[in-house]
Amino acid sequence: MAWSAAHHREGVTIGLVPTMGALHAGHRALIKAARLSCDAVVVSLFVNQAQFGPKEDYSRYPRKPNADAALCKKEGVDVLFAPPVEEIYPDGFQATVSVSKLARRWEGEQRPGHFESVATVVTKLLTLVRPTAAFFGQKDFQQAALIRRLVEDLNLGARMIVYPTVREADGLALSSRNVFLTPAQREAAPVLFQALKAGRAAIRAGGRSGTNIQQVMRKTLVAEPLASLDYLAVCDPDTLEPLARVRDRAVLLGAIRIGKIRLIDNLLVKC
Ligand code: AMP
């Protein structure tokens, strides 16, 4: 990107917020954080087909280009970078980037190939835009952990900022996919955050057994008939491996399905 090269020459710092569009208040918080700490802000908008499984919702994924452009303008974004598919994947493209261990469990297990496609597209975006800092949401905890590793391992040169999850008043993490929930499903959806909070309460009450904490979360979840469980786990926040015993820190990871909608969330807990 010639724009980035010129800005780097002038010592301008660039913040990049990678998104798939259908921007909401969670994305807006990342944009504001970038605005506060960088001179210039780039929001990328690319619905990366490669990271959707064959049975997933690529064609149905919400797209709101006009509203996205308006939000970016209002937030003082300098560049809305919405590359055409050929710019990211030119003819003959075949490179992939994998972050093997961090991609193995949880979302990686439920969505084969997903993280390889995420790592590949993020590598492309970071090398095209060459930001000083890149902003990601804690909402996608495993993705953020994996990208942190990727940036460090491949010396991609961006400072990695992970911003806390923005939630609705009832605790549901904002997500572009929430628009697909029917009113009844929307009412049921906060159960995931409630389950994670029950796990956090158990830790705060002195619980240390990973299995027990997981059971506490599960009990809250199964009380909601509209929700079906993909996983609820008590993990090391750096390796994302399950913890038999919680020592000083844990991340509680969860994924559920409500109807056809898949929701993920997490909570970091310090003892
Ligand atoms: P997406 O457009 O869903 O790919 O998300 C783009 C970025 O926004 C990712 O870094 C997400 O983790 C982040 N994000 C999505 N939802 C939220 C949220 N509720 N709070 C904070 N960040 C979020």
Strand ranges, E, within the chain: 14-19, 40-45, 79-81, 133-137, 159-163, 227-235, 249-258, 261-270
Is the Cβ atom of 44 under 6 angstroms away from ligand 1?
no
The CA 206 to ligand 1 mean position distance, Å, reads 32
Is the Cβ atom of 116 under 6 angstroms away from ligand 1?
no
- Is the pLDDT at 1 greater than 90, yes or no? no
- Is the pLDDT at 2 greater than 90, yes or no? no
The arithmetic mean of pLDDT across residues 85-110, rounded, is: 97
Q: Is the pTM of this model over 0.95?
A: yes
pLDDT tens by residue, 14-43: 999 999 999 999 999 999 999 999 999 999
- Which pLDDT value is given to residue 70? 98
Q: Check 7, 24, 27, 114 and give the catalytic one.
A: 27
Cα dihedral sign, 195-189-21-66? negative
Is the Cβ atom of 114 under 6 angstroms away from ligand 1?
no
Phi, psi (deg, nearest 5) at residue 132: -75, -40
pLDDT tens by residue, 143-164: 999 999 999 999 999 999 999 9
Q: Which string of DSSP letters, residue by residue, matches 239-261? A: T-PBPSB--SEEEEEEEEEETTE
The mean pLDDT value of the chain amounts to 97
Per the annotation, the verdict on 24 as an active-site residue is no
Is the Cβ atom of 125 under 6 angstroms away from ligand 1?
no
pLDDT tens by residue, 205-258: 999 999 999 999 999 999 999 999 999 999 999 999 999 999 999 999 999 999
- Which pLDDT value is given to residue 57? 92
Q: Which string of DSSP letters, residue by residue, matches 11-37? A: T--EEEEEE-SS--HHHHHHHHHHHHH
